[in-house]
Amino acid sequence: MSLGRSSFNVAANGIRQHVLRHGGNGQPLVIIPGITSPAVTWEFVAEALGNEFDTYVVDVRGRGLSSSGPKLDYGVDAMADDLIGLLDALRLDNGIVLGHSMGARIGARAACKQPARMARLILVDPPVSGPGRRAYPSKLQWYTDSIRLAIAGMDAESMRAFCPTWTDKQLALRAEWLHTCYEPAIVKAYNDFHNTSFHDDVSSLKPPAALVVAGKGGVIQSEDIAELSSLNDKLQIVHVPDAGHMIPWDDFPGFLGALDSILGTSLRKAS
């Protein structure tokens, strides 16, 4: 069992950043969720990681309980600066950064800006779209439609139309928290998937980095793996064959097993 959970706010990079913490012992590990995933929806992962790491999950700006609204910049550089500011504010040295989807792109950009701020980077199924590349497979309307329904008020059963394979508990939590995702922040982040280059960041990475690929996700394909490996020959590639893009939700044991192969842990066995 992890050592407990705390929830708090931090002033970092000029905004309020809300953080959930699990564990308290071991090497710091910071989770950066995806485009419409408030920190609370990743808590089941943080609980497992808290058994071995001092684990933090952050609400990215425009989501959850962190700062939001029309005055903020929601581009990838601003979000990367938030991560750097959070690491500084919490005095987290020699930490691991684990980012899923958009969070992986944030982590990669932050690692390029301040490579000394993290010991290792884990990129979980990041969008590989970009200028001149194929589009991200999920459509923007999927996000905006569900957010608008959540703002009006929706239950787990209504959310099932968007996430048909999820459990009732997972659907209920997403339905409860999705309204906190500020639509212009989501639109900007989605557009950045296509307007900014993830590949340039990968080629410039200095910290040890691993790429976790969803076998059923369709986001990263074999040709993408070959190209990314050619850009960074030290990039570790780990597959979770039976998972879609939302890897921890689709195959949690497989996800923990992937982390074990990267980190040398026994998370899967412990859970």
pLDDT, one tens digit per residue, over 230-257 is 999 999 999 999 999 999 999 999 999 9
pLDDT of residue 3: 58
Q: What is the pLDDT of residues 114-125, one digit of tens each?
A: 999 999 999 999
Mean pLDDT of the chain: 96
- Residue 131: pLDDT band with limits 50, 70, 90: very high
Average pLDDT for 149-165: 96
DSSP 143-165: HHHHHHHHHH---HHHHTTT-TT
According to DSSP, residue 94 is labeled S
Structure confidence at residue 1 (pLDDT): 44
Residue with tokens 């412990």: 270
Query: Region 203-209: what's the mean pLDDT?
Result: 96
Q: Residue 232 and residue 37: Cα distance in Å, rounded?
A: 28
- According to the model, what pLDDT value does residue 25 have? 86
Mean pLDDT across the stretch 16-38? 96
Q: Determine the average pLDDT of the residues in 132-137.
A: 96
d(CA 39, CA 17): 11
DSSP structure class, residue 216: T
**Residue 24: predicted pLDDT:** 83
Cα separation, 157 vs 242, in Å, equals 25
pLDDT in tens, 70-118: 999 999 999 999 999 999 999 998 999 999 999 999 999 999 999 999 9
Q: Express as a percent the part of the chain with pLDDT over 70.
A: 99
- Residue 2, pLDDT above cutoff 70: no
What are the domain boundaries of the chain? 5-136+195-270
The dihedral sign for the CA sequence 66, 69, 72, 76? positive
Is residue 183 within 8 A of residue 266, CB to CB? The reply is: no
Instruction: Give the three-class secondary structure for 74.
Output: coil
Match 């953080």 to its residue by tokens.
Answer: 19
CATH classification code of 5-136+195-270: 3.40.50.1820
Using DSSP's 3-state secondary structure scheme, residue 101 falls into coil
